[in-house]
Amino acid sequence: MKRAVIAAAVICCVAVAALADERRSGAEFMGASTQAMQRDDTLNPGMLWVSGGELQWKTAAGASGKSCASCHGDAGKSMRGLAARFPAFDHVSKRTVNLNQRINMCRERRQQAPPLRAESEELLGLEAYVAMQSRGMPVAPPQDAGTRASAARGKQLYLQRMGQLNLSCAQCHDEQAGKRLAGSTIPQAHAAAYPIYRLEWQAMGSLQRRLRNCMSGVRAEIPGFGAQELVELEAWLAVRDKGMKMESPGVRP
Amino acid sequence: MARALIHMPATARRGEVIEIRALIGHPMETGYRPGADGKIVPRDIIRKFVCRYNGEQVFGAELHQAVSANPYIGFFTVATESGTLEFTWEGDNGFAQTEKMNLTVSAP
């Protein structure tokens, strides 16, 4: 009888643990001053990129002579919640694309303008401006078959050991999260704050830049910007982050 | 044209202390770092920041290599009369930028 009670109590504890969300945004691992920098838009250097993006939103580009606003109108309405649903499967190109790839597709197809270079101020600005419209909203990865297939491949990559150090993403960010790697805390690899202003970069950067950083850290071969592996990893991270709040533009140390 | 963001109240009472926050996009290249080709990247920093309130300087700062990129400067001033605050950043390679903000001051 006593054994049965203990067993029941153990089962209850396990059930409660499973219910409690133990996911923590990278922001919670930062120092108070960096947190304040992210929280306060008048302190957040990422707002420089956002304001640049807002300007571009309204500026005509390409042979079409159209701006983003010509079709999409007020970004505060049309782009609300959009960034929370990326990466997403694109039916025209038949592949999963992230937000900045989607922006470039719109430039090429609709504005008839040359695509913006990866990690350029212009592309990061537009991405940050669009992403900020979803701030505070829950991450909601699309449930269609294409995106789910990409996320599944991304999960494989997340668990795959790589590089000379022979480490997978999961070995640090799942198994060792919260512990320290030299002076910094290992976060849980939640990506809802991107693009971020990273103090180490002294600039804004995309999630792909961050992923490439980590890959160089474990001395793996680094895929180029826009590589499908990176987009698939992003798609898996979005599934892991489902329901967490969007923070863009985030600040990270 | 670099981007600059200035945050301050648009209105204040006479004698009130107001906070001003100025953020500007600038690489603040120190002149000590080697570039991808191994050569030293020449220095490119903002050297001076000045805030003038109706022409009178109320705040100034000298910036040096140790200041981060995209420098943020926060300071306070006393609202005396309605008018314009003019913010000027000057630096290497002829860098110069001026922004203006209006302040309406009412009776205390």
Whole-Å CA distances, A116 to A45, A105, A109, B57:
22, 10, 13, 41
Cβ contact, residue pair A43, B69, below 8 Å: no
The pTM is what? 0.90
Q: Which of B5, B28, B68 sits opposite A47 (nearest CB)?
A: B5
**Average pLDDT score over residue span A163-190:** 94
Please report which confidence band the pLDDT of residue A3 belongs to, taking 50, 70 and 90 as the band edges: low
**Average pLDDT score over residue span A13-24:** 66
pLDDT digits (tens, 9 = 90+) for A185-218: 999 999 999 999 999 999 999 999 999 999 999 9
pLDDT recorded at residue A20: 79
On chain B, the residues whose CB falls within 8 A of the CB of A52 are 3, 25
Given a cut of 70, is residue A7 above it in pLDDT? no
Check whether the bond before A249 is cis (ω within 30° of 0).
Answer: yes
Given a cut of 60, is residue B96 above it in pLDDT? yes
pLDDT digits (tens, 9 = 90+) for A58-79: 999 999 999 999 999 999 999 9
Whether residue B100 lies inside any domain: the answer is yes
What is the extent of the structural domain holding B92? 4-30+43-106
pLDDT recorded at residue B85: 97
Residue ranges of domains in chain A: 24-253
pLDDT recorded at residue B1: 43
Cβ contact, residue pair A42, B27, below 8 Å: no
pLDDT recorded at residue A228: 96
Q: Which residue of A has its CA nearest to B1?
A: A52
Rounded CA gap, A202 and B68, in Å? 7
Given a cut of 60, is residue A2 above it in pLDDT? no
Whether residue B37 lies inside any domain: the answer is no
Closest Cα in chain A, distance from residue B7 (Å): 6
Nearest partner of B6 among A51, A7, A126, judged by Cα: A51
Cβ contact, residue pair A47, B69, below 8 Å: no
Q: Which of A43, A51, A202 sits opposite B72 (nearest CB)?
A: A43
Please report which confidence band the pLDDT of residue A4 belongs to, taking 50, 70 and 90 as the band edges: low
Cβ contact, residue pair B72, A52, below 8 Å: no
Quote the number of domains for chain B. 1
pLDDT digits (tens, 9 = 90+) for B56-77: 999 999 999 999 999 999 999 9
In a 13 Å sphere around the CA of B49, the CA atoms on its Cβ side amount to 22
- A24-253, which class in CATH? mainly alpha
pLDDT recorded at residue A6: 54
Q: List active site positions of A.
A: 214
CB atoms within 10 A of CB A61: 17
**Average pLDDT score over residue span A27-51:** 94
Percent of chain A with pLDDT over 70: 92
**Average pLDDT score over residue span A168-191:** 94
Given a cut of 60, is residue A43 above it in pLDDT? yes
Q: Which residue of B has its CA nearest to A201?
A: B69
CATH number at B79 reads 2.60.40.10
What ipTM is given for this predicted complex? Answer: 0.91
Whether residue B38 lies inside any domain: the answer is no
Q: Which residue of B has its CA nearest to A198?
A: B69
On chain B, the residues whose CB falls within 8 A of the CB of A40 are none
Whether residue B61 lies inside any domain: the answer is yes
CB atoms within 10 A of CB B67: 17
Whole-Å CA distances, B106 to A167, B4, B68, B78:
64, 27, 37, 13
pLDDT recorded at residue A183: 87
Cβ contact, residue pair B23, A203, below 8 Å: no
**Average pLDDT score over residue span A171-198:** 94
Whether residue B35 lies inside any domain: the answer is no
Helix locations, chain A, DSSP H: 2-19, 32-39, 46-57, 68-72, 75-78, 99-106, 121-132, 145-159, 169-173, 207-217, 228-240
Rounded CA gap, B15 and A229, in Å? 60
pLDDT recorded at residue A33: 94
DSSP-derived secondary structure letter, A245: B
